[in-house]
């Protein structure tokens, strides 16, 4: 199975989807519909970006995606 699956390409597609969501124009809606659209766009971006930032391993038939959700380390030079 791992020989047939290009995980790097899959992760790249998620990065592309995240970028596409950011560039998605707002439809001509107003009020609650606009708010729902914007909330969904944020969730779509978040989901796609998380997978797009993942590293992966294939162990014993299991695809393991690892996502580091820790905040970036503070740069001591900027203090």
Q: Mean of the per-residue pLDDT values for the chain?
A: 88
Domain count, the chain: 1
- What are the tens digits of pLDDT across the range 31-58? 999 899 999 999 999 999 999 999 999 9
Q: What global pTM score does this model have?
A: 0.74
Helix, coil or strand: residue 53: coil
> What is the spatial distance between Cα 57 and Cα 52, in angstroms, rounded to a whole number?
14
> What is the spatial distance between Cα 53 and Cα 8, in angstroms, rounded to a whole number?
11
CA distances from 53 to 26, 43, 58 (A): 26, 15, 17
Q: Is residue 60 part of a domain?
A: yes
What range defines the domain where residue 13 resides? 7-68
Q: Is residue 26 part of a domain?
A: yes
Q: Is residue 58 part of a domain?
A: yes
Q: Is residue 1 part of a domain?
A: no
């Amino acid at each position: 199975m791992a020989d047939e699956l290009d995980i790097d390409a899959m992760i790249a597609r998620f990065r592309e989807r995240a970028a596409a969501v950011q560039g998605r124009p707002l439809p001509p809606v107003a009020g609650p519909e606009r708010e729902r659209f914007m909330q969904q766009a944020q969730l779509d971006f978040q989901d796609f970006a998380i997978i797009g930032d993942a590293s992966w391993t294939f162990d014993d038939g299991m695809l393991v995606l690892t996502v580091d959700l820790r905040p970036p380390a503070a740069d001591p030079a900027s203090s």
